[in-house]
């Protein structure tokens, strides 16, 4: 199998080219030991297989960033048949530095000048033939968006993987004479028993020109050394000089940046930029969470109504325990994953839209200074904000951050952001105990979560595992009209990857929790979880709610999903089983399925219109919740319970995301923090409120 690696700066279209060449049939995972995304595809051309590997975007190969270290390490350690260097043809001055560094590996290489459609649109003139001669590398001027030149790129890859190449050093004019002088001297110092080829001698002379340790060591091994350095220049400086010399073959009047600069005058303004950011992020959250809600409900209907009923009938021969395992353990577990698919789809679509348009980098620029106070970056804000809707996709969104330590710290903080699943619980208790101040009490809960996250960020940043003082290297790309096909492929791959990652531990956890709430007799009130809750209740008495075992027993079930607290309270306080399942009627069910999909589509069109607030819970359940506590400290007990649920262990899906993305150590740390912090916080708040009352 031939291995072809795609290398280039960030956001130059490497993934788009792999999409185009492989029809988006590539695997997505993580590079070993880090959370940088790894993409690879296997294709077959002319009866031979080719492995296409998308290396992380890098500006250089000597940097400390994990992406740059991965790219450099892969090029040095792996067997590679061809490098495909994808460059942004509208910004060659920046891209060619990495090109010069890639040439030094002496691996067969081709260059794709991407975004050639924009080059033509903005009337940029590039003398590709002269650049090809100077760089000694084939240059293919195409655009991945319109798929022009796909066959040419494939054929060039096939031809080049079998080639043996030698790329002569690219030397700036100021260094040419010292280089030639050094080459002449070096020829006289090579031992007679050495049979160095001319290309090997040229590369050694280039390394000696800049006094590279390995070359100096080689010269000493020959018991020879230069009298004195023939040149005192810097390699990087000369690389940029050489790029300047190459730019005489490029004429760019920079009209492409006119629109970008005009927009940035508003979008990067200290005041107007923040207003625009607030508006854009509000629209983003509206699109993601309101837009996906009707389709979430549709999938929920398909699984928990239709599938449950048909499975119940199909499994009539099983005993009640086995049937309950399949229905409430396995199907409910898988359904808990599948219900999130529309949410993940909308989220990845929105993030890809921001990234492809160039606005994601502006968000990081605007907020970077404020977030640095907590050892985070501006990009962390996007993930934390998404956490208010759902922690699961927010944790996956940390992939877009630049540094490994910032990724871990941001992911650790996300569960403190009160997700939408917690809101029904807040509304239930607020309506029961704070009917006149419900909105204010719920808002205060959100504020406590944000405050807790900031405190944890400040504390954790003192530990080496999270402390990060690296400056964020940020490029502000020009605004571009996003390509829908690229966004669609990103969304499809991320959703499939999400399903693959999520359908593992979650299913087993659901089965375990089902067993605890079912045995020994199928009644939640006398189940194992109720027994354990009654035994553990005294531990929570200092927090105010330990005198009610129902509140304690609801905590483990909240690990499945926070909104299950409402269902658990419904079952235990109102003593309803909700196990009656309507009989099946295939014709009527098919009609209901179509009607449910039509309703989801209609609700989607209405999702972005102003909506009147509606009561979240039935009066009977609110009355039952009010009966939990009736003494003078009832409000303090209820508020303490709300705070505890806010800060308690996140749902199993969030833990799964933490585990898959960052390993069991970070997931375990999150669990430990969200055992200690909610207890300490709820204890403090309850005791203070009791004193004030």
Which residues share a beta bridge with 48? 45
Res. 602: pLDDT tops 60: yes
Round to whole Å and give the CA distance between 378 and 366.
7
Nearest to 360 by CA among 227, 480, 196, 256: 480
The reply to whether 263 and 365 lie within a common domain is yes
Band of residue 137 on the pLDDT scale cut at 50, 70, 90: very high
Is the pLDDT higher at 474 or at 288?
Answer: 288
The reply to whether 284 and 243 lie within a common domain is no
272 phi and psi angles, rounded to 5 deg: -65, -35
Neighbours of 434 (CB within 10 A): 17
pLDDT at 128: 94
The reply to whether 376 and 299 lie within a common domain is yes
In a domain, 94, yes or no: yes
In a domain, 167, yes or no: no
**DSSP code of residue 583:** P
DSSP secondary structure string for all residues of 167-204: ------HHHHHHHHHHHHHHHHHS-TT----HHHHHHH
Round to whole Å and give the CA distance between 478 and 359.
9
Residue 7 CA from chain centroid, whole number: 20
Is the pLDDT higher at 148 or at 94?
Answer: 94
Report the first-to-last Cα separation within the chain, whole angstroms. Answer: 74
pLDDT digits (tens, 9 = 90+) for 632-672: 899 999 999 999 999 998 888 888 889 888 888 999 999 99
Round to whole Å and give the CA distance between 447 and 442.
9
In a domain, 321, yes or no: yes
Band of residue 615 on the pLDDT scale cut at 50, 70, 90: very low
HEC sequence for 452-470: HHHHHHHHHCCCCCCCCCC
Lowest mean pLDDT among 283-292, 356-365, 442-451, 608-617: 608-617
Average pLDDT in the chain: 83
In a domain, 98, yes or no: yes
Round to whole Å and give the CA distance between 653 and 659.
10
Q: Where a domain ends, among 160, 193, 214?
A: 160
Nearest to 44 by CA among 90, 4, 96: 4
Peptide bond into 207 cis (omega under 30): no
Res. 577: pLDDT tops 50: no
The reply to whether 325 and 376 lie within a common domain is yes
Nearest to 411 by CA among 49, 156, 98, 660: 660
Round to whole Å and give the CA distance between 482 and 183.
50
Res. 392: pLDDT tops 70: yes
DSSP secondary structure string for all residues of 337-358: HHTTHHHHHHHHHHHHHHHHHT
Is the pLDDT higher at 48 or at 27?
Answer: 48
pLDDT at 98: 94
In a domain, 581, yes or no: yes
Q: Where a domain ends, among 227, 251, 275?
A: 251
Band of residue 159 on the pLDDT scale cut at 50, 70, 90: very high
pLDDT at 13: 85
Neighbours of 285 (CB within 10 A): 17
Round to whole Å and give the CA distance between 79 and 373.
43
The reply to whether 62 and 87 lie within a common domain is yes
HEC sequence for 271-330: CHHHHHHHHHHHHHHHHHHHHHHHHHHHHHHHHHHHHHHHHHHHCCCCCHHHHHHHHHHH
pLDDT digits (tens, 9 = 90+) for 295-342: 888 988 888 788 888 888 888 888 888 888 888 778 876 776 677 788
The reply to whether 37 and 147 lie within a common domain is yes
Peptide bond into 422 cis (omega under 30): no
Q: Which residue has tokens 């200092």?
A: 542
In a domain, 140, yes or no: yes
- Residues 6 or more apart in contact with residue 32 via CB below 8 angstroms: none
Nearest to 250 by CA among 126, 375, 408, 378: 126
**DSSP code of residue 649:** P
The reply to whether 49 and 125 lie within a common domain is yes
The reply to whether 233 and 299 lie within a common domain is no
Which residues share a beta bridge with 110? 84
Residue 671 CA from chain centroid, whole number: 21
The reply to whether 110 and 226 lie within a common domain is no
The reply to whether 263 and 237 lie within a common domain is no
pLDDT at 618: 44
What does the pLDDT average to over 140-145?
Answer: 88
Cβ atoms of 351 and 363 closer than 8 Å: no
In a domain, 166, yes or no: no
Nearest to 636 by CA among 677, 684, 674, 676: 684
Band of residue 346 on the pLDDT scale cut at 50, 70, 90: confident
Nearest to 58 by CA among 17, 20, 92, 12: 12
Could you tell me the CATH number of the domain that includes residue 54? 3.40.50.300
Q: Which of 212-226, 353-367, 462-476 has the highest mean pLDDT?
A: 353-367
The number of CA neighbours under 13 Å toward the Cβ of 512 is 9
What is the rounded radius of gyration, in angstroms, for the C-alpha atoms of the chain?
31
**Domain extent at residue 229:** 173-251
Structure tokens at 288: 């993601």
Round to whole Å and give the CA distance between 168 and 134.
10
Q: Where a domain ends, among 191, 226, 251?
A: 251
Band of residue 567 on the pLDDT scale cut at 50, 70, 90: low
Band of residue 620 on the pLDDT scale cut at 50, 70, 90: low
Q: Which of 65-74, 191-200, 332-341 has the highest mean pLDDT?
A: 65-74
| Residue 683, H or E segment | helix 664-692
The reply to whether 311 and 282 lie within a common domain is yes
What does the pLDDT average to over 137-150?
Answer: 87
pLDDT at 95: 93
Cβ atoms of 29 and 60 closer than 8 Å: no
Question: What percentage of the chain carries pLDDT values higher than 90?
Answer: 23
Burial class (CB in 10 A: 0-12, 13-18, 19+), 14: buried
Round to whole Å and give the CA distance between 581 and 13.
52
Res. 140: pLDDT tops 90: yes
Res. 480: pLDDT tops 50: yes
Structure tokens at 404: 């490994």
Nearest to 418 by CA among 622, 562, 610, 606: 562
The reply to whether 245 and 282 lie within a common domain is no
- Give the total number of structural domains in the chain: 3
Round to whole Å and give the CA distance between 28 and 486.
15
In a domain, 237, yes or no: yes
Is the pLDDT higher at 580 or at 390?
Answer: 390
pLDDT at 617: 42
Phi-psi region of 610 (alpha: psi -120 to 50; beta: other; left: phi over 0): beta
């Amino acid at each position: 199998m031939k291995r072809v690696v795609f290398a280039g700066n960030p956001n130059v279209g490497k993934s788009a080219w792999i999409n185009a060449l492989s029809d988006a049939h590539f695997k997505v995972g993580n590079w070993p030991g880090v959370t940088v995304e790894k993409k690879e595809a296997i294709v077959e051309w002319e009866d031979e297989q080719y492995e296409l590997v998308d290396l992380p975007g890098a500006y250089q190969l000597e940097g400390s960033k994990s992406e740059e270290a991965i790219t450099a390490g892969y090029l040095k350690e792996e067997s590679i048949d061809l490098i495909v260097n994808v460059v942004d043809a509208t910004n060659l001055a920046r891209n060619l530095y990495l090109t010069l560094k890639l040439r030094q590996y002496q691996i067969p290489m081709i260059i794709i000048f991407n975004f050639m459609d924009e080059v033509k649109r903005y009337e940029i003139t590039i003398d590709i033939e002269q650049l090809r001669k100077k760089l000694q590398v084939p240059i293919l001027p195409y655009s991945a968006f319109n798929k022009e030149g796909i066959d040419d790129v494939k054929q060039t890859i096939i031809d080049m993987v079998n080639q043996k190449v030698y790329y002569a050093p690219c030397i700036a004019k100021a260094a040419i004479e010292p280089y030639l002088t050094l080459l002449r001297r070096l020829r006289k110092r090579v031992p007679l028993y050495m049979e160095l080829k001319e290309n090997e001698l040229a590369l050694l002379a280039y390394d000696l020109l800049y006094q590279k340790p390995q070359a100096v060591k080689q010269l000493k091994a020959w018991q020879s050394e230069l009298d004195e350095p023939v040149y005192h220049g810097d390699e990087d400086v000369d690389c940029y000089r050489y790029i300047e010399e190459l730019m005489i073959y490029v004429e760019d009047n920079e009209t492409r940046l006119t629109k970008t600069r005009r927009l940035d005058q508003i979008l990067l303004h200290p005041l107007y930029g923040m207003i625009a950011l607030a508006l854009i992020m509000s629209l983003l959250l509206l699109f993601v969470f309101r837009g996906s809600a009707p389709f979430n409900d549709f999938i929920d209907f398909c699984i928990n109504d239709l599938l449950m009923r048909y499975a119940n009938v199909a499994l009539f021969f099983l005993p009640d325990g086995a049937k309950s395992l399949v229905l409430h353990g396995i199907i409910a577990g898988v359904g808990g994953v599948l219900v999130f698919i529309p949410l993940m789809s909308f989220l990845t679509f929105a993030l890809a839209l921001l990234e492809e348009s160039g606005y994601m980098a502006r968000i990081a620029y605007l907020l970077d200074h404020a977030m640095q106070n907590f050892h985070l970056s501006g990009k962390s804000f996007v993930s934390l904000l998404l956490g208010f809707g759902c922690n699961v996709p927010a944790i996956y969104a940390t992939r877009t951050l630049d540094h490994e330590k910032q990724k871990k710290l941001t992911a650790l903080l996300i569960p403190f952001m009160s997700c939408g699943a917690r809101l029904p619980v807040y509304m239930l208790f607020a309506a029961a105990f704070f009917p006149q101040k419900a909105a204010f009490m719920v808002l205060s809960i959100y504020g406590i979560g944000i405050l807790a996250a900031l405190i944890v960020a400040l504390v954790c940043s003192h530990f080496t595992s999270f402390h990060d003082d690296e400056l964020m290297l940020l490029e502000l790309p020009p605004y571009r009209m996003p390509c829908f096909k690229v966004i669609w492929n990103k969304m499809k791959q991320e959703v499939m990857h999400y399903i693959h990652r999520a359908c593992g531990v979650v299913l087993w956890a659901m089965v375990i929790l089902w067993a605890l709430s079912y045995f020994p007799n199928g009644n939640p009130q006398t189940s194992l979880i109720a027994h354990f809750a009654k035994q553990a209740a005294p531990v929570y008495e200092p927090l105010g709610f330990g005198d009610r075992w129902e509140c304690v027993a609801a905590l483990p079930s909240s690990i499945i999903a926070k909104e299950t607290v409402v269902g658990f309270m419904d079952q235990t306080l109102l003593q309803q089983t909700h196990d009656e399942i309507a009989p099946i009627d295939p014709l009527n069910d098919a009609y209901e399925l179509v009607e449910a999909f039509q309703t989801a589509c209609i609700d989607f069109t209405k999702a972005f219109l102003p909506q009147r607030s509606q009561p979240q819970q039935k009066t009977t359940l609110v009355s039952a919740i009010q009966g939990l506590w009736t003494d003078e400290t009832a409000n303090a007990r209820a508020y303490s319970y709300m705070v505890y649920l806010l800060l308690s262990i996140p749902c199993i899906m969030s833990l799964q995301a933490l585990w898959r993305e960052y390993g069991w150590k970070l997931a375990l740390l999150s669990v430990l923090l969200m055992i200690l912090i909610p207890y300490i916080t709820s204890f403090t708040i309850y005791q203070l409120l009791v004193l004030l009352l």
